[in-house]
């Protein structure tokens, strides 16, 4: 029996996780190849409200004993005034650190029926299928020293960007391996004209490429230019590898290029246990109203089947079912545009549609 730790989290997290788990059960039914045991625990703001910490030892123990982790979303304005060390996001950062999840894979794909949901012109976005590999456990989010303190009588905030050669090498290898399986192209994004960490980043990525992946074409791009190019000509990209901070920003930009942040899943890999979550936040303004788009969470389950369990056929079934649901005109509010055959539906309705399509494949 394969064991999955489930953290529904905050806001819309429990709603989208519920639909994703129902899809997973449907995959069990139609494939008959593997059974999944799931167990839920609190994380983030929900954990703080119940226990005073963003993640308990019990929750961490459950994650350690599992084969994969599914996470809905954490955080929200309700907890913004908490001390930094107990904010909901600290639970997620602790998971990344504990399990060595140094490589965050964030695909940005435009489904044909959603081309017109993008704020960009159809001819720019049609056919986009790129993958950002974001370094996840280093850089400015983890560097020391950090904090807010008085320096010479002036309140001063400090964060430190730090990267060591082994950190860069391992995430570069992930990007090159994925690039080799796709179109044979990798773009490394940095700020080498200003930052010493980026000078080292560019040097190490180049060396790994030349030494271990001579068959993969490598190009370098400054992050400000990359941000512009994602809007100007997004189809030029296949695999992008970049730092923690730059990856965080660029993937949110890529999500809007594709039409909605509610469509994009992610996988965080590196250790024995992978973590899978949508890249969107907890959206507390629509929580509990049945309006959330669960497709990013459902596609995160597909990534889990693919990367943690080598169930590529089952992952493809989910991805195809999502595409078919969109082709049949099902839209949650974030991707809704009026048109012939287009139906505005809620969270459970589009989840039900994906499940029915999966059942019809047998």
Enumerate the active-site residues: 141, 191, 224, 248, 252
Q: 347-360 and 295-307 helices cross at what angle (nearest 10)?
A: 40
Distances 213 to 20, 35, 178, 270 between C-alpha atoms, Å: 36, 37, 11, 20
Residue 300: cis peptide before it, omega within 30 degrees of 0: no
DSSP state of 270: S
Number of Cα atoms under 13 Å in the Cβ half of residue 85: 3
Q: What tokens appear for 176 in the block?
A: 């090159």
Cα(49)–Cα(175) distance, integer angstroms: 38
Cα(226)–Cα(186) distance, integer angstroms: 13
Query: What are the backbone angles phi and psi of residue 279, rounded to the nearest 5°?
Result: -85, -10
Pairing of strands 265-269, 154-158: unpaired
Q: How many CB atoms lie within 10 A of CB 312?
A: 12
Q: 295-307 and 13-31 helices cross at what angle (nearest 10)?
A: 50
Q: How many CB atoms lie within 10 A of CB 52?
A: 9
Number of Cα atoms under 13 Å in the Cβ half of residue 168: 23
Q: Which residue has the tokens 């980043």?
A: 201
Q: For the chain, what's the residue count?
A: 362
Residue 12, Cβ density class (10 Å: 0-12 exposed, 13-18 middle, ≥19 buried) = buried
């Amino acid at each position: 029996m394969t064991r999955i730790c489930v953290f529904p989290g905050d806001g819309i997290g429990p709603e989208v996780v519920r639909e994703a788990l129902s899809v997973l059960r449907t995959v069990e039914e139609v494939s008959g190849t593997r059974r999944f045991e799931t167990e839920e625990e609190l994380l983030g703001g929900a954990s703080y409200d119940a226990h005073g910490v963003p993640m308990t030892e019990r929750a961490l123990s459950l994650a350690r004993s599992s084969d994969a982790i599914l996470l809905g979303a954490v955080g929200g304005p309700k907890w913004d005034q908490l001390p930094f060390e107990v904010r909901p996001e600290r639970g997620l950062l602790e998971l990344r650190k504990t399990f060595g999840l140094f490589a965050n894979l964030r695909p940005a794909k435009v489904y044909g029926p959603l081309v017109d949901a993008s704020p960009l012109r159809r001819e720019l976005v049609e056919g986009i299928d790129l993958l950002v590999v974001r370094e996840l456990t280093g850089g400015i989010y983890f560097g020391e020293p950090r904090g807010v303190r008085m320096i010479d009588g002036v309140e001063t905030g400090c964060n430190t960007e730090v990267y060591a050669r082994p950190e860069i090498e391992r995430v570069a290898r992930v990007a090159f391996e994925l690039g080799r399986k796709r179109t044979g192209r990798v773009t490394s994004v940095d700020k080498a004209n200003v930052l010493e960490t980026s000078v080292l980043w560019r040097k190490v990525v180049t060396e790994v490429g030349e030494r271990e992946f001579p068959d993969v074409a490598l190009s370098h791009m400054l992050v400000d230019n990359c941000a512009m190019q994602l809007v100007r000509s997004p189809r030029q990209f296949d695999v992008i590898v970049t730092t923690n901070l730059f990856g965080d920003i660029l993937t949110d930009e890529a999500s809007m290029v594709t039409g909605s942040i509610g469509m994009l899943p992610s996988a965080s890999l590196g250790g024995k246990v992978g973590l899978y979550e949508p890249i969107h936040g907890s959206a507390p303004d629509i929580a509990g109203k049945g309006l959330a788009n669960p497709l990013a969470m459902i596609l995160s389950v597909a990534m889990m089947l693919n990367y943690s369990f080598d169930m590529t056929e089952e992952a493809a079934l989910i991805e195809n079912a999502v595409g078919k649901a969109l082709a049949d005109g099902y839209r949650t509010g974030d991707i809704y545009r009026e048109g012939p055959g287009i139906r505005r539906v809620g969270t459970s309705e589009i989840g039900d549609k994906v499940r029915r399509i999966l059942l019809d494949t047998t």
